[in-house]
Amino acid sequence: EAEVAQSPRYKITEKSQAVAFWCDPISGHATLYWYRQILGQGPELLVQFQDESVVDDSQLPKDRFSAERLKGVDSTLKIQPAELGDSAMYLCASSENRADSDTQYFGPGTRLTVL
Amino acid sequence: DAKTTQPTSMDCAEGRAANLPCNHSTISGNEYVYWYRQIHSQGPQYIIHGLKNNETNEMASLIITEDRKSSTLILPHATLRDTAVYYCIVRVTPYFGNEKLTFGTGTRLTIIP
């Protein structure tokens, strides 16, 4: 069964450093999402791509976060500089761009700890 | 804000049916009810979704009340591997585009041996 791949699974960094997370969606899925999940809470959307275009980044802290999906396939989420409050699970999800099927499938996530 | 209300936690004996309730009293006519679960330290997993008819798949059954203001997810024979946080989410029909999922805090289901 096809899965969403994410790396790394765990990342420890010091505040003010730069970090990057990578996501490879299920093949053929045009829509890609990045969510952030703080411990004890549900995931919250950071950014949504349709192919290579951003369709929703209203909750992305653009002063320090950036996301790209240059060829409309895999994606990278970057934080620079990292802050203590960025410690969380970063989840990637993908879905087909079909009117009758838009179930989101999630990857295993990257757990970020900022010291 | 999440449009659903769920109990914070529930226990269920192994082998019994687990019934997870969800209230969505402000649901609109074009909104589906989706259920996801998240096992500890993993990404959320899709379970099932429905509009107004009851739905069943290999994982679970979804019962939606006639007025669509509430629903129940049923895991027919719970196992220890079903221990997870279960999220009930309402969102517009796929015909309106790929809308984000708005998660609440979910129900923490613990299966007791």
Residue B29 has what pLDDT? 85
Instruction: Over range A31-56, report the average pLDDT.
Output: 93
Chain A partners of B94 at a C-beta cutoff of 8 Å? 98-102
Q: pLDDT: is B41 or B17 the higher one?
A: B17
Pick the closest to residue B4 from B31, B39, B38, B42 (CA basis): B31
Please tell me the distance in Å from A29's CA to the nearest CA on chain B: 12
Q: Given pLDDT bands bounded at 50, 70 and 90, which one contains residue A98?
A: low
Q: Tell me: pLDDT of B1 over 60.
A: no
- Residue pair B33/B88 in contact by the 8 Å Cβ criterion: yes
Chain A partners of B2 at a C-beta cutoff of 8 Å? 42
Instruction: Over range A48-73, report the average pLDDT.
Output: 93
Residue B37 has what pLDDT? 97
Residue A102 has what pLDDT? 73
Please tell me the distance in Å from A19's CA to the nearest CA on chain B: 20
Q: Do B94 and A99 touch (CB under 8 A)?
A: yes
Q: Tell me: pLDDT of B94 over 80.
A: no
For B36, what's the count of Cα atoms within 13 Å in the CB-facing half-sphere?
Answer: 23
Residue A25, CA distances (Å) to A93, B46, B99 in order? 7, 16, 17
Amino acid in the structure at residue A82: A
Instruction: Over range A82-91, report the average pLDDT.
Output: 97
The rounded distance, in Å, linking the Cα atoms of A72 and B12 is 43
Q: Tell me: pLDDT of B56 over 90.
A: yes
The rounded distance, in Å, linking the Cα atoms of B45 and A105 is 7
Mean pLDDT (chain A, rounded): 93
Q: Tell me: pLDDT of B101 over 90.
A: no
Pick the closest to residue B70 from B100, B30, B26, B8 (CA basis): B26
Residue partners of A67: CB distance under 8 A and separation at least 6? A34, A46, A47, A49, A54, A57, A60, A75, A76, A77, A78
Residue B92: closest C-alpha in chain A: A102
Q: pLDDT: is B61 or B29 the higher one?
A: B61
Q: pLDDT: is B94 or A83 the higher one?
A: A83
CA B54 to chain centre: 13
Percent of chain B having pLDDT more than 90? 73
Tens digits of residue pLDDT in B28-47: 888 889 999 999 989 999 99
Angle at CA of residue B64, ends B63 and B67, nearest 5°: 155
